[in-house]
Amino acid sequence: MPNNQNPLVNGIAVIIDDEIDDKNSNIYKLISQIKDTGMPCVELPELPAYEDKFIAQLQGVSFILLDWKLLPSTISEKDDIPSVDLPTDSFEDANIQFLKKICKELFVPVFIFTNEDVASIQTKLMAEELYYKDRSNFIFVKSKTDLEDGSLFEQIDAWVSENPPVYVLKNWEYEYRKAQNQLFVGFYKFNPLWVTILKKCFKDDGLDEFTVSVEIMSLIRDNIFAQMQMTGLKEGHLDNEGSLPDKEQIRGIFERSKFIENGKLPEDEVRCGDVFLMNDGRYYINIRPDCDCIPDRKDTESTLEAVELCLLNGSIFENEKKKYSKTHGCFSPQTTQEIIFCMYQNNSFVFNFKQFSIEKYGNVKTFRIGRLLPPFLTQLRTNYTQFLMRQGLPRIPAEAVSPE
């Protein structure tokens, strides 16, 4: 992506406002600014009737622009209804419930451009844990009148520069979509039946239907990642001058960068790096290669449950301060074990290379708690291989090193 281009200008904008058709309204002017960039817009006069289904279709949108005071389509603020008190609270509650569903399902920037009091809206969002004063937010509240001069994207630029996660996400989405399209267009031009050709090759190799689908998806994933370019991030956009995270927050970030909890993993697969917690409190990690974690290709009756895993025994590591090297920023290595910093539930783990066992997946699958990711898994496997290939050497006499 060009360095001077706002990542939020790529994709589709969703605008929800009851005055989108009023050419004299502030929102109409804002929509004109968005369309002037060439962005397509989805314009809705009110919250969608089927919110859950609607939100499910919002994957990859650039941002959502939401009016805070949404009147029903049958009522206009221009209507003279002196005898009726409009239930403003109910409109706000509907917006809050909509935002909560958005936050649960998507990580997408939401801009609330309103004619109401900005501070009061922020207060209500804070009460619902949707907005925070002491850190950056992906919900942005701004008065519509402040944007009439055409400064919409200047304001968005300033907001994006203060929100590194949003900036990185949108650059990632742009590069991913570009690489994805390049891949599929290239394959399709070469042969529209390329997926069928790959399937036949995998089937001829003896793979079952499930494994074939896994192999095809893995091939697509690897090709897309190989073509992605993430070198266009602006200097300074990854910094934030807010309060520094505390120790527990830093540990939580490291845990999420290396470990995927079981609830987010497919139930019908087992891979290298899967971690199990048995009833007796013992931890195990599977180090068998992915290609061996599938049913026997030669046995048509073989099942995933029958796959034999190679498990290393592990436990919670208690000596972080003693083993930590400030010079190198890591734990002092040992030939017979691997230490994984802050892997699960804020704990570091040590896996012992001398304690090895074979177990069928069907006997342990209900005890899986998650999966360790590369490069930490790669480091563990590499060191384990070196442990297996180690050569014993004679002890060096102390007298030969020091006269004392």
Q: CATH no. for residue 331?
A: 2.30.30.110
Residue 139 lies in a domain: yes
Residues 175 and 149 both lie in one domain: no
Domain of 151, CATH number, reads 3.40.50.2300
pLDDT for res 241: 58
Strands 139-143 and 110-114, by their bridges, are: parallel
60: Cβ contacts below 8 Å, ≥ 6 apart = 11, 12, 173, 177
Residue 399 lies in a domain: no
Percent of the chain past pLDDT 90, that is, above it, reads 29
pLDDT tens for 336-375 read 899 999 999 999 999 999 999 999 999 999 999 999 999 9
Q: Does 80 map to a domain?
A: no
The two tokens of residue 267 are 């139930």
Distance CA 7, CA 171 (A): 6
Q: What average pLDDT does this structure show over 303-331?
A: 86
Instruction: Evaluate if residue 229 carries a pLDDT over 90.
Output: no
Bridge partners of 286, per DSSP, are 311
Say if residue 148 is in the same domain as residue 192.
Answer: no
Split into its structural domains, the chain has a count of 3
Please tell me whether residues 196 and 298 are part of one structural domain. Answer: no
The whole-number pLDDT of residue 2 equals 42
Lowest mean pLDDT among 13-27, 28-42, 239-253: 239-253
pLDDT at 30: 84
* pTM for the model: 0.70
Residues contacting 119, CB < 8 A, separation 6+: none
- Based on the fold, state whether residues 181 and 265 are members of the same structural domain: no
Q: Where are the alpha helices (DSSP H) in 37-151?
A: 51-56, 88-105, 118-127
On whether both 202 and 342 belong to a single domain, the answer is no
Q: In which domain, by residue range, is 155 found? A: 7-74+87-162
Token pair listed for 200? 């036949």
d(CA 190, CA 202): 19
180 and 45 share one domain: no
> Do 313 and 179 belong to one domain?
no
- Residue 338 shares a structural domain with residue 375: yes
For residue 395, tell me if it sits in a domain: no
Mean pLDDT of the chain: 83
pLDDT over threshold 50, residue 116: yes
Which stretch of 62-66, 94-98, 391-395 has the lowest confidence by average pLDDT? 391-395
Q: What is the enclosing helix (H) or strand (E) of 108? A: none
- Does 287 have pLDDT greater than 60? yes
Mean pLDDT of 159-185: 85
Look at residue 181 and tell me if it is in a domain. yes
Q: Are 37 and 46 in contact (CB under 8 A)?
A: no
Say yes or no: 124 and 208 in one domain.
no
Establish if 345 belongs to a structural domain.
yes
Segment holding 287, helix H or strand E: none
Tokens 């300033």: give the residue.
158
Q: Tell me the pLDDT band of 183, cut-offs 50, 70 and 90.
A: very high
Q: How confident is the model at residue 1 (pLDDT cuts 50, 70, 90)?
A: very low
Domain shared by 223 and 300, yes or no: no
φ, ψ of residue 198 to 5 degrees: the values are: -65, -40
